[in-house]
């Protein structure tokens, strides 16, 4: 699988970087987005089934990351509001997953968090897991997920809500058991 990932990277790197850079003014931001796209590709392609249409997936994910980039710039100027369901626990877990620290301890902690997420995903009912994976891991819109699962949009939203609620509970348990100690 690693050889296939390297082959995909070499095939698409320059074209995808050009695509991103035409939409993002700073080359550093374009390179960061490219790195996020390929990181997500390696995670998703190994976690789920192999991606069938790699080119379409890469470009769709790049577009979504570009949108996220501009949303983040916009949100940075606004004060953050407190959400009791999404408190600092998830910020800290996100920092662990996406942080740049590469110590052996941090790598072990990252591995533990990823294992816990995989276990939690496996514990979800099939319909909830499928919707969560489509919308969060494969970057499908809710409408696209509804079409793929042949379910009404409201049903997809409900399944995603329950999946997120369950995963938050599991991550809260991980945080309380491991990270706070």
Q: What confidence tens digit (pLDDT) does each residue in 15-25 have?
A: 999 988 888 87
Rounded CA separation 144/156 (Å): 10
Cβ pair 142, 156 in contact under 8 A: yes
Among 40, 176, 169, which residue's Cα sits nearest to residue 117? 169
Bigger pLDDT: 135 vs 106: 135
Q: Which pLDDT score is estimated for 166?
A: 87
Split at pLDDT 50, 70, 90, the class of 99 is low
34-43 burial code (b ≥16 CB/10 A, e <16): bebbbebbee
Q: Which pLDDT score is estimated for 55?
A: 85
Q: Which pLDDT score is estimated for 164?
A: 85
* Token pair listed for 123: 């514990």
pLDDT tens readout for residues 12-60: 899 999 988 888 878 888 899 999 998 888 888 765 567 778 888 888 8
Q: Which pLDDT score is estimated for 48?
A: 56
* Token pair listed for 134: 């489509």
Rounded CA separation 18/33 (Å): 12
* Token pair listed for 70: 């501009």
Q: Which pLDDT score is estimated for 119?
A: 83
7-24 burial code (b ≥16 CB/10 A, e <16): ebeeebeeebbebbbeeb
Split at pLDDT 50, 70, 90, the class of 86 is very low
Burial tier of 140 (Cβ tally within 10 Å: 0-12, 13-18, 19+): buried
What is the pTM assigned to this prediction? 0.47
Across 73-87, 97-111, 121-135, 145-159, least confident range: 73-87
Cβ pair 132, 47 in contact under 8 A: no
pLDDT at 83 over 60: no
Q: Which pLDDT score is estimated for 96?
A: 66
Rounded CA separation 156/126 (Å): 12
Give whichever of 55-69, 82-96, 167-181 has the largest mean pLDDT: 55-69
Q: Which pLDDT score is estimated for 88?
A: 53
Q: Which pLDDT score is estimated for 90?
A: 58
- Give all domains of the chain, ordered by start, each with its CATH number: 2-76 (1.10.1740), 87-179 (1.10.10.10)
Q: Which pLDDT score is estimated for 157?
A: 92
* Token pair listed for 99: 């942080």
Among 73, 61, 72, which residue's Cα sits nearest to residue 35? 61
């Amino acid at each position: 699988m690693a050889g296939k990932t390297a082959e995909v990277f070499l095939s698409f790197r320059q074209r995808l970087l050009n695509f991103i850079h035409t939409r993002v003014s700073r080359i550093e931001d374009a390179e960061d987005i490219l790195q996020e796209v390929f990181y997500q590709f390696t995670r998703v392609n190994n976690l789920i089934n192999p991606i069938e249409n790699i080119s379409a997936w890469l470009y769709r994910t790049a577009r979504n990351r570009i949108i996220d980039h501009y949303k983040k710039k916009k949100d940075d100027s606004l004060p953050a509001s407190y959400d009791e369901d999404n408190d600092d626990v998830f910020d800290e877990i996100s920092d662990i997953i996406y942080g740049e620290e590469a110590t052996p301890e941090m790598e072990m902690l990252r591995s533990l968090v990823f294992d816990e997420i995989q276990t939690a995903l496996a514990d979800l009912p099939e319909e909830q897991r499928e919707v969560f994976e489509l919308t969060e891991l494969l970057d499908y819109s809710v409408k696209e997920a509804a079409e793929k699962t042949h379910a009404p949009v409201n049903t997809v939203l409900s399944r995603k809500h329950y999946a997120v609620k369950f995963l938050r509970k599991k991550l809260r348990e991980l945080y309380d058991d491991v990270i706070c100690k």
